[in-house]
Amino acid sequence: MFKNQIESLLFISHKPLSVAELAKLIGADKKQVEEILNQLAEEYKSRAGGVEMLKVEDKYQLATVGASSEVVAKFVKSELTGELTRPSLETLTIIAYRGPISKAELELIRGVNCSLIIRNLLIRGLIEAKEDKAKGVTSYNITLDFLKYLGINDVGRLPDFEKLNRNNNLDKLLQGIGNSADGAEKEINTVINNLETPNA
């Protein structure tokens, strides 16, 4: 059971996870976690597939193998320059209006796992992650670069920000982004479509 949980956590995480973090998440001791990580590393190595386990100090992460770098680079480029999907736009809009917000809060609002969407937005530089060590939670917020692309210097200048930022009923944001947030969605779409142009 622990083995499956550790592999799942490594798969969905957008950052390397330490032995201590994994042990805390699954409720096991560090020695058990280290043994399982070594097993997984050997399995990936002997399998010689498209994924391998990387280790830096006491942190582990799943990554694609070097032999696949060319095709992975093409895919990542298309992901970075292509249009955002509707779920990504919804997630970005929620972060813009409600950030800083945790992954758990995002998933509570959207009702689906947001791991891959968050990873995509992080890679694009549209959001940033900040860890609250005291609470052990990572929160997400939009970046200054994203505001720059929108042509504003303050998140408070987003359409109807005051109303939507303080509204606990987020159904409007998820039902077609909501009438009062339509302007925000149009602006975000325009920004994403122009991300390939430097200093746009």
The pLDDT tens digits for 132-152 are 777 778 889 888 877 776 777
Q: Model confidence over 13-70: pLDDT tens digits?
A: 878 899 999 999 899 999 999 999 999 999 998 988 888 888 888 899 888 888 887 8
Q: Which 8-state DSSP code applies to residue 48?
A: T
Straight-line distance from the first to the last Cα atom of the chain, in angstroms, rounded to the nearest whole number: 49
Task: Decide if domain 79-193 falls under CATH 1.10.10.10.
Answer: yes
All structural domains of the chain with their residue ranges: 2-67, 79-193
CATH number belonging to domain 2-67: 1.10.10.10
Q: How far lies 137's CA from each of 21, 32, 95, 100, 184, in Å?
A: 12, 24, 16, 11, 28
Examine domains 2-67 and 79-193 and report if their fold is the same: yes
Q: What length is written for the chain?
A: 200
Say if CB 52 and CB 62 are below 8 A apart: yes
The answer to whether the predicted template modeling score (pTM) of the entire model surpasses 0.85 is no
The residue assigned the tokens 């005291």 is 134
The residue assigned the tokens 């694609």 is 64
% residues pLDDT > 90 (the chain): 14
